Amino acid sequence: MAALDYESINENVKKAQYAVRGELYLRASELQKEGKKIIFTNVGNPHALGQKPLTFPRQVVALCQAPFLLDDPNVGLIFPADAIARAKYYLGLTSGGLGAYSDSRGLPGIRKEVAEFIEKRDGYPSDPELIYLTDGASKGVMQILQTIIRGQGDGILVPVPQYPLYSAAITLFGGSLVPYYLEETANWGLDIQNLRESVAESRARGITVRAMVIINPGNPTGQCLSVANLKEILKFCNQEKLVLLGDEVYQQNVYQDERPFISARKVLMDMGPPISKEVQLVSFHTVSKGYWGECGQRGGYLEMTNIPPQTVDEIYKVASISLSPNVPGQIFMGVMVNPPKPGDISYDRFARESKGILGSLRKRAQIMTDGFNSCRNVVCNFTEGAMYSFPQVRLPPKAIEAAKKAGKVPDVFYCLRLLEATGISTVPGSGFGQKDGVFHLRTTILPAEEDMPAIMSSFKKFNDEFMEQYEDNRGYSRM
Amino acid sequence: MAALDYESINENVKKAQYAVRGELYLRASELQKEGKKIIFTNVGNPHALGQKPLTFPRQVVALCQAPFLLDDPNVGLIFPADAIARAKYYLGLTSGGLGAYSDSRGLPGIRKEVAEFIEKRDGYPSDPELIYLTDGASKGVMQILQTIIRGQGDGILVPVPQYPLYSAAITLFGGSLVPYYLEETANWGLDIQNLRESVAESRARGITVRAMVIINPGNPTGQCLSVANLKEILKFCNQEKLVLLGDEVYQQNVYQDERPFISARKVLMDMGPPISKEVQLVSFHTVSKGYWGECGQRGGYLEMTNIPPQTVDEIYKVASISLSPNVPGQIFMGVMVNPPKPGDISYDRFARESKGILGSLRKRAQIMTDGFNSCRNVVCNFTEGAMYSFPQVRLPPKAIEAAKKAGKVPDVFYCLRLLEATGISTVPGSGFGQKDGVFHLRTTILPAEEDMPAIMSSFKKFNDEFMEQYEDNRGYSRM
């Protein structure tokens, strides 16, 4: 048997699951090929659903890609002066422009911009030497998990429902996922008691929990963590000597005012010593989300707090095997953390574009939540932040039976039917994890605002017909 | 102890070594910070040493980054019509431009361009469904090694000297590197008998060899493999049921006419069935090398031959965890495999630029080889291809003793002294592997042609002084 025969490849590769691009996505791609109109709400990919890129960063990166334009006498006709100045600034940070590998941690000048952004956001200084630029946040998460995981005895606490990057990466690296359940009836809040139980249970199974993941704002669940919650988490990590991985990629995506985003790092620093000097924290950010949505550019960073220098060096060494993160993505990160300021030529346009996107996302979050809640067998917490709705769909026993007959998990069955009927491509809740016997789906809030009412009524129509088909005692349950 | 304390992190992370950005590079970076002029010849990074990017691909990508320019009435003043047309073509392949994640295998339209390029190069059809775009070739190599390696019992045959991506990735994934030695006195040729012995020896140690790596043209050794050699390798892989990993990133970098680059895939297809339908082959390519040198863009592809569909799907699934390769890098790959053609507006310029770069590299390869060979204690095979010289430096016993006292491997000691004296940042041969008791260094042939004579005489001067200091019986050995 040859080494790449299916039977003989790495079992961890086979076991890893990534539902966001799993069965539903593959079926949607097939249908699209056959000519069906598909609404890809399976993945947070704003530009694919029509969101326009912000103009200023694109101008800067275009000029960096084509530095000969900077000498062209006509360049001022089509690029504003501040974009030209910024492109020159970034090119000056490189040795050889976008075509040269940078330092494997990213360009020092951009890591400095990131540190200044963090300092301004949190009110505490940040060290550029502890900030590594990455090809998107996922790459950073994988680097850190690979550094932590030594084998099956190493457990990583992951919220359930979770973004399946975590389950997939933990499986790939041969570790053990230790779930902690978010409480749907408490707006996807986190219960520290539940955390303690998870750790104790896994210890009994011979698993040492070594790190804990939080996703704030939540994916797929959309909640924003409160300061009180973050404090409890940090204390817990300190007691248990856990590394906290703070997935904060949706920090710009907040759609209510009661619970603004607060970084785990700020809360930790606010708590003061000794804890602020003890908890090992790695935080992740990206250019793919926010009002940027520059997913295809693959720009991100990780920031390390209280990580010993020797380990920081090891992470550098492993990063260097991949040579360097892509340099255009680094420039996007620089502009994201250091956008045009009031008084700059491009400021008004930048502010108008970014406010337009965020304001519309806030409206879409509301339309979607309301739409789901208008179906009698669906309940959905409001999307406080991030880019997703994660409604619970109550499936009648006959539907569950039908799914079983079709050899499908019930929510996969429901989502496939939804896809075939409406072209809406979602991800079944089972791809994120959920409690036994309850079923969800995840959809992004990213379809264009003007399309949203039609999409929600198309969903409602499908759901009504689905229920009509599978519900017992129709007359009764409609009362 | 916390999970990211040095003592408790993944041992494979600690063990992995990547000398190209190791001790020498770190010391060079320090010296640069202190104001010393450093010539970074440690890594094949052409733009960092002054190579200008090709104009046409940069125009295309700049327009794709700033699609609003396509509606600007002034765009024709600064971009040629064929670059505009090509940018529109690529944007038409995406749904949402460069800011949207693509399919995790890359944009189908660009994979088709790659397949056409391969078909034209080899004379055999290529299937776009078996071509995956990657963030540089390194990412692709790592994906495949991760799929193959299940544990320490799995061995990968790697040429020694080798490019340390392979040793590092094999260590990270917990496999075993099985070396096969290239024969320096036979112009770094490969001896099949030596291969068989390596496999037999590792079998005796309980290691099953599952794959074999070839680097053609060679890195760091610069040789081009002959058709006869490639046939022997393919037969050997067939007998032993090994996956062949063909690192062909330097296929455009060939500096002699006797042994042009021939792909492993073409040789395999030429051999006909049954072998052409049996050997599992994965080939890698990149936009970082050739006359492109677009390292910072991180664009690459892998092509799979004779890999079963189920495994192809698993590799797709793992790629999907990282969402998608960066999209600008995919566009570079598209332009690389489908450059301007005679008659196109940009053709003359493109041809002039690319020929200029290749012609100069050929001259530089010669100057460097001659320069090394003019030192009495240095012998260097001619760089037939790739981007490196890999001279053997004969070190006198007193130098080896001095290195030992300093706690350094002898060639590290030599290269550090070279760096301090001249600013030339090389990589010691021990970073690539070499036979016991012989010492090498690797340098790129990338410094500007006009700087080359001064660099080589600076090297010669240092080497003479080093020998003067450490050689016994001075009068005698100078005779």
State pLDDT tens for residues B110-158: 999 999 999 999 999 999 999 999 999 999 999 999 999 999 999 999 9
Report the residue of A102, A278, A326, A349 to disrupt the B interface, i.e. the one with the largest count of B CBs within 10 Å.
Answer: A326
User: Which pLDDT value is given to residue A478?
Assistant: 34
User: Which pLDDT value is given to residue A176?
Assistant: 97
Question: What residues 196-215 of chain B have any CB closer than 8 A to a CB of chain A?
Answer: 210-211
Residues in chain A: 479
- Among B190, B194, B357, B317, smallest CA distance to B264 is for B190
State pLDDT tens for residues B233-277: 999 999 999 999 999 999 999 999 999 999 999 999 999 999 999
Per-residue pLDDT at A472 exceeds 80: no
Share of chain A above pLDDT 70, in %: 99
Q: Which fold has domain A6-50+351-477?
A: Aspartate Aminotransferase, domain 1 (3.90.1150)
The beta-carbon neighbor of B241 closest among A2, A65, A241 is: A2
Nearest residue of B to residue A316, measured between CA atoms: B21
User: Which pLDDT value is given to residue B19?
Assistant: 78
- Exposure string of B366-382, with b = 16+ CB inside 10 Å and e = fewer, is bbbbebbeebebbebbb
Tokens 């100045």 belong to residue: A85
Interface contact flag, B2 A243, Cβ < 8 Å: yes
Residues of chain A with C-beta less than 8 angstroms from the C-beta of B67: 58
The beta-carbon neighbor of A101 closest among B5, B43, B308 is: B43
pLDDT band at A473 (very low <50, low <70, confident <90, very high): low
CA dist A160 and A140 (Å) reads: 21
Per-residue pLDDT at B478 exceeds 80: no
Q: What is chain B's alpha carbon radius of gyration, rounded to the nearest angstrom?
A: 23
User: Which pLDDT value is given to residue B476?
Assistant: 38
Between these two residues, A309 and A21, which has the higher pLDDT value?
A309
User: Which pLDDT value is given to residue B475?
Assistant: 39
Given a contact cutoff of 8 angstroms between Cβ atoms, the answer to whether B443 and B424 are in contact is yes
Sign of CA dihedral A117, A118, A122, A126: negative
The beta-carbon neighbor of A3 closest among B20, B243, B296 is: B243
User: Which pLDDT value is given to residue A477?
Assistant: 36
The beta-carbon neighbor of A314 closest among B1, B9, B298 is: B9
Pairing relationship of beta strands A176-181 and A208-215 according to DSSP bridges: unpaired
User: Any idea which of A462-466, B74-78, B307-311, B391-395 has the lowest mean pLDDT?
Assistant: B74-78
Pairing relationship of beta strands A378-379 and A281-286 according to DSSP bridges: unpaired
Q: What is the mean pLDDT of residues B301-310?
A: 98
User: How many interchain CB pairs under 8 A, A with B?
Assistant: 302
Class (C level, CATH) for B92-337: alpha beta
- Among B370, B357, B251, smallest CA distance to B300 is for B251
Share of chain A above pLDDT 90, in %: 93
Interface contact flag, B280 A150, Cβ < 8 Å: no
State pLDDT tens for residues B24-65: 999 999 999 999 999 999 889 999 999 999 999 999 999 999
Sign of CA dihedral B398, B403, B404, B405: positive
Can you give the residue ranges of every domain in chain B? 6-50+355-477, 92-337
For residue A40, the cross-strand partners are A425
Mean pLDDT, rounded, of chain B: 95
How many Cα atoms are found within 13 Å in the side-chain-facing hemisphere of B438? 17
In angstroms, how far is CA B353 from the centroid of its own chain?
22
State pLDDT tens for residues B215-237: 999 999 999 999 999 999 999 99
Q: Does B465 touch chain A (CB under 8 A)?
A: no
Per-residue pLDDT at B289 exceeds 80: yes
CA dist B254 and B277 (Å) reads: 29
Query: Do A92-337 and A6-50+351-477 have the same topology in CATH?
Result: no
Question: What residues 290-319 of chain A have any CB closer than 8 A to a CB of chain B?
Answer: 293-298, 307-308, 310-311, 314, 317-318
State pLDDT tens for residues B359-416: 999 999 999 999 999 999 999 999 999 999 999 999 999 999 999 999 999 999 999 9
Between these two residues, B470 and A1, which has the higher pLDDT value?
B470
Per-residue pLDDT at A476 exceeds 50: no
Q: Does A134 touch chain B (CB under 8 A)?
A: no
CA dist B115 and A93 (Å) reads: 37
CA dist A257 and A137 (Å) reads: 26
User: Which pLDDT value is given to residue A18?
Assistant: 85
Q: Which two tokens stand for residue A35?
A: 């000519």
Report the residue of A74, A94, A298, A303 to disrupt the B interface, i.e. the one with the largest count of B CBs within 10 Å.
Answer: A298
CA dist A235 and A237 (Å) reads: 5
Residues of chain B with C-beta less than 8 angstroms from the C-beta of A135: 135, 298, 322, 326
Distant-in-sequence, close-in-space partners of A1: CB < 8 Å, separation ≥ 6: A7, A8, B241
User: Which pLDDT value is given to residue A353?
Assistant: 98
Longest dimension (CA), chain A: 77
Backbone angles phi, psi at A223, to 5 degrees: -80, 155
Given a contact cutoff of 8 angstroms between Cβ atoms, the answer to whether A303 and A337 are in contact is no
Residues in chain B: 479
Per-residue pLDDT at A148 exceeds 80: yes
Per-residue pLDDT at A244 exceeds 50: yes
How many Cα atoms are found within 13 Å in the side-chain-facing hemisphere of B35? 0
Question: What residues 24-43 of chain A have any CB closer than 8 A to a CB of chain B?
Answer: 29, 43
Residues of chain B with C-beta less than 8 angstroms from the C-beta of A98: 294, 296-297
Q: Does A417 touch chain B (CB under 8 A)?
A: no
Interface contact flag, A20 B320, Cβ < 8 Å: yes
Q: Does A53 touch chain B (CB under 8 A)?
A: yes
Pairing relationship of beta strands A176-181 and A154-160 according to DSSP bridges: parallel
The beta-carbon neighbor of A308 closest among B6, B147, B308 is: B6
Given a contact cutoff of 8 angstroms between Cβ atoms, the answer to whether B131 and B302 are in contact is yes
Given a contact cutoff of 8 angstroms between Cβ atoms, the answer to whether A268 and A237 are in contact is no
Backbone angles phi, psi at B190, to 5 degrees: -115, 135
pLDDT band at B477 (very low <50, low <70, confident <90, very high): very low
- Among A24, A54, A49, smallest CA distance to A364 is for A49
Sign of CA dihedral A107, A112, A114, A115: positive
pLDDT band at B472 (very low <50, low <70, confident <90, very high): confident
Q: Using DSSP, state whether B246 is helix, strand or coil.
A: strand
Please tell me whether the peptide bond between B161 and the residue prior to it is cis, using omega within 30 degrees of 0.
yes
Distance from CA of A24 to the nearest CA of B (A): 13
Per-residue pLDDT at B436 exceeds 50: yes
Interface contact flag, B297 A61, Cβ < 8 Å: no
Interface contact flag, B16 A295, Cβ < 8 Å: no
Residues of chain B with C-beta less than 8 angstroms from the C-beta of A3: 148, 154, 210-211, 241-243, 280
Given a contact cutoff of 8 angstroms between Cβ atoms, the answer to whether A210 and A148 are in contact is yes
CA dist B351 and B253 (Å) reads: 15
CA dist B54 and B351 (Å) reads: 10
Please tell me whether the peptide bond between B447 and the residue prior to it is cis, using omega within 30 degrees of 0.
no
User: Which pLDDT value is given to residue B382?
Assistant: 94
Q: Which two tokens stand for residue A391?
A: 């409604």
State pLDDT tens for residues A365-423: 999 999 999 999 999 999 999 999 999 999 999 999 999 999 999 999 999 999 999 99
Mean pLDDT, rounded, of chain A: 95
ipTM of the complex: 0.95
Residues of chain B with C-beta less than 8 angstroms from the C-beta of A166: none
Report the residue of A322, A323, A335, A427 to disrupt the B interface, i.e. the one with the largest count of B CBs within 10 Å.
Answer: A323
Q: What is the mean pLDDT of residues B305-329?
A: 96
pLDDT band at B473 (very low <50, low <70, confident <90, very high): low
Q: Which two tokens stand for residue B364?
A: 């530089």
Per-residue pLDDT at A444 exceeds 90: yes
Distant-in-sequence, close-in-space partners of A216: CB < 8 Å, separation ≥ 6: A224, A225, A230, A246, A247, A248, A250, A251, A261, A264, A385
Report DSSP state, residue B125: -
Interface contact flag, A65 B68, Cβ < 8 Å: no
Q: Which fold has domain B6-50+355-477?
A: Aspartate Aminotransferase, domain 1 (3.90.1150)
The beta-carbon neighbor of A14 closest among B67, B282, B314 is: B314
